[in-house]
Structure 1
Amino acid sequence: MVDTMALMLPFGRASRTTRTAEHPAVALPGDDEVLLDAPDDRLGPALVAAGRGEYEPAAALLAHTRQHAEWEHRDRYALRLAAFARSRTEWLETWYAADPKDPDALLIRAQLAVDHAWGSPARAEVLRGVSPLITAAARTDDRDPVPWRIALDHARGSRAGHTYFGELWEAALRRAPRHYGCHVAALRYLASSWHGSHRECLDFADRAAQDAPADSLVQALPTRAVLAYLDDDCGPGVPHERLDEAADRAVALSARFPAADLWPAAIRNKLTYVLVRLGRWEDALEQLTLIGPHATSFPWSRLSEDPLGRFLETRDEVRRRAAGSAARGAAGGHPPSGRGGRVHSGDH
């Protein structure tokens, strides 16, 4: 049996020797201080309790997010709790047995069912049998967009047509027009349906960001589209200026959050990945400074089975590259950072 702290901390601390290469005047946390997928102060206790088979803290946490319409937090917590339940289901089974109509238990059961089906070779067929669970979760609170985000993911996995997906998308928007999770789900569906048509996906993301407030997480959606484009060799090219503009939106959003804050860590990790791929080393170093000790599995797991190790390796590379860029700038070479320091499309 895995002990409780191991269950709470699958992200753990990096058992690596702290590296010494530093960019001038930039101090980053040591490698042994960096955590992967750390929960926040509200989710952590719920995971620890679930490891003991106790569901009450998780129930209280999700009930709070529902009662106070904290939909972005609710979405993240639902994903993390369902992921935990994949290996430890006792607490969720006890919760559902105690109250089969509990909106939050139904939400986790729906997310867990989709997660399980996603790994099946017969994904589309298995997902069709999950629909009643999603419907049950959606009927419990008409304000809640999270079941509709699950429904959008379900539609992508079951290869639903555009008409049906559009109906789900409209239903999600009626509940929360700026919900980031639903927008990501829609972007993933479009990327899957329009394989290779990255311009269309970026158009969708740009329109959503333009319509959203400056402090909305939707401002990071174009960067999500750029990440998919950079990792895909098919389809027509996208002008490099559009890639930079998308990254700039996310940079501006990141600047609105405090440094080393856990909440924007996921967005900052993806942004750093994109900035590295674009060769914007000084901007990437700035994001790493803002990330502090909070690494996330995605997107680094795309590159390695050891996402924490990959994050740390990338951090070292960024420090070296940024130091070289700064040295060239001091010697009268190319500008060391910002828009002037970008590579051109032919450089990558």
Structure 2
Amino acid sequence: MALLPAFLRPTRMTRRASRPAAPLPAGDEAVLDAPDERLSPALVAAGRGEYGVAEALLATTRATAAWEDRDRCAKRLAAFARSRPEWFEAWRAAAPDDPDALLVATQLAVDRVWPSPARAELLREVSPLITAAARADDRDPVPWRIALDHARGSRAGHRYFEELWEAAVRRAPHHYGCHVAALRYLGTFWHGSHRECFDFADLAAQDAPADSLVQALPARAAFAYLTDDCGPEVPRERLDAAADRAVALSGRFPAADPWPAEVRNKLVYVLVRLERWEDARAQLRLTGPYATSFPWDRVSEDPLGLFLRLREELLNGTGTPGPKGLLPAPLRPRSGHGGHARAGDH
């Protein structure tokens, strides 16, 4: 695998601070893809047609170099703008060269064409917008994460992808979104190369700080393996080690917090597939009411319903469930070949 050595280079950065716990809703309710306490006001304001709160939020993430927050906020704001565009169109008209508006516009442009059968061709038309977003603030790794997704979707060559990858990690050596984009590129272009994907994910996690989201990257590789029927077998010990890393990371965050919810939801899936029932139950308790579309939308058209059924069976059911009964087969191949992809697949 010619691409892999360029990925396997150690990097260093400082640790990020932990965050306070969000309040746990009363009763047994659950919510899907709930925003955290900072993003929520921006979405509420956008619903009223106002962009100022979103503008201030993204400006703060840029000023404080909170790149993980910035990436998540840009994705959620772009998703909201896709269905409710008026507030964002007003922002773009008022500040066409604003780095934060450019970032959301770039994510939105990629989202809009991603589900199309002509995705590769349409994505090439987005390239100038990605370039503009990257030039707007040279420190920001998030446009480079979008560029990595764009390269995968447009089926760019390996050498070009490596150049993008090196530019991304120069800006933020342990940015989780960039690492996920690279892992998905590896999985797409070398379908079935799960051991190589684990090599990349394991080395990245070994080099990252203990509280970095990159600690969850091996569990993401495990998820890809467990939802695929292609390639050589990965030893059980490696799957357990990936889950253990993610369990340790999850334990560093408060319970019932939207911030680590996707990491915990993905980890629950992996633990159930590995039949580690007590560990899965523990993660569900830590997850609280915060279901996330990923990974459940990869195996069900009703991700919230599947989360609720799984939670009910594991926390309140009797006996030991079996993974075949709890989790349906994946809806589509993980490689990205064949079928139409959803906007969230990148």
Task: Identify whether the pair has TM-score above 0.5, normalized to the shorter chain.
Answer: yes
Q: Residue 262 in 1 paired to residue 258 in 2? A: yes
2:128 to 132, 140, 146: 132
Mapped to 1, the partners of 2:51 and 2:28 lie a distance apart of 32
1:63, 1:104 within 8 Å by CA — same for their partners in 2?
Answer: yes
Structure 1 residue 207 corresponds to structure 2 residue 203: yes
Q: 1:156-176: CA deviations, max 9, x gaps?
A: 000011100000000000000
Q: Is the 8 A contact 1:276 1:318 kept in 2?
A: no
* 1:252 maps onto 2:237 in alignment: no
Look up the SS of the partner of 1:86 in the other structure: helix
Shift of 1:36: 0.9
What stretches of structure 2 of length at least 5 have no aligned partner?
1-23, 321-346
Residues 72 and 179 of structure 1 are in contact (CA less than 8 Å); yes or no, is this contact kept in structure 2?
Answer: yes
- Which runs of structure 2 are paired with 1:1-348 in the superposition (5 Å)? 32-319=28-315, 324=319
After superposition, the Cα gap between the structure-2 partners of 1:183 and 1:275, relative to the gap in structure 1 and judged at 3 Å, is: same
Structure 1: distance between partners of 2:245 and 2:122:
38
Identity value in percent: 76
Query: Aligned pair in 2 of structure 1 residues 62, 192: CA closer, same or farther (>3 Å)?
Result: same
Q: Displacement of 1:218 after TM fit?
A: 0.4
CA distance in structure 1 between the aligned counterparts of 2:238 and 2:280, rounded to whole angstroms: 18
Deviation at 1:30, TM superposition (A): 7.5
Distance, in Å, in 2 between the alignment partners of 1:84 and 1:31 is 28
Take 1:190 and 1:104, find their aligned partners in 2: how far apart are those partners? 29
Distance (Å, rounded) in 2 between the aligned partners of 1:291 and 1:88: 29
RMSD: 1.6
Paired residues of 1:31 and 1:312 also in contact (CA < 8 A): no
Q: The residue matched to 2:83 in structure 1 has which SS?
A: coil
Secondary structure of residue in 2 paired with 1:83: helix
Structure 1 unaligned blocks of 5 or more: 1-27, 326-348
Deviation at 1:29, TM superposition (A): 7.6
More relative contact order in 1 or in 2 (CA 8 Å, sep 6+)? 2
Give the deviation of 1:320 after TM superposition.
Answer: 5.5
- After TM superposition, the score normalised by the length of structure 2 is 0.84
- Give the number of the structure whose alpha-carbon radius of gyration is greater: 1
- In structure 2, what residue type is equivalent to 1:122? A
In structure 2, relative to structure 1, the CA distance for the partners of 1:92 and 1:263 (3 Å cut) is same
SS of equivalent to 1:222 = helix
The number of residues matched between the two structures is: 298
CA displacement 1:313-342 (0-9 Å, x = unmatched): 111222367x636xxxxxxxxxxxxxxxxx
Moved over 3 A (4+): 28-32
Tell me how far 1:229 sits from its aligned partner.
0.5
**Cα drift, residue 304 of structure 1:** 1.6
Aligned counterpart, 2:331: none
Bigger mean CA deviation after superposition, 46-55 or 168-177: 46-55
Taking the aligned partners of 2:69 and 2:36, their CA distance within structure 1 comes to 10
Distance 1:30 1:52, change over 3 A: closer
* Structure 1 length-normalised TM: 0.83
**TM-aligned CA distance change 1:177 to 1:201, over 3 Å:** same
Q: How far apart are the structure 1 equivalents of 2:177 and 2:26?
A: 32
Counterpart AA for 1:263: W
Question: What is the SS of the residue equivalent to 1:54?
Answer: coil
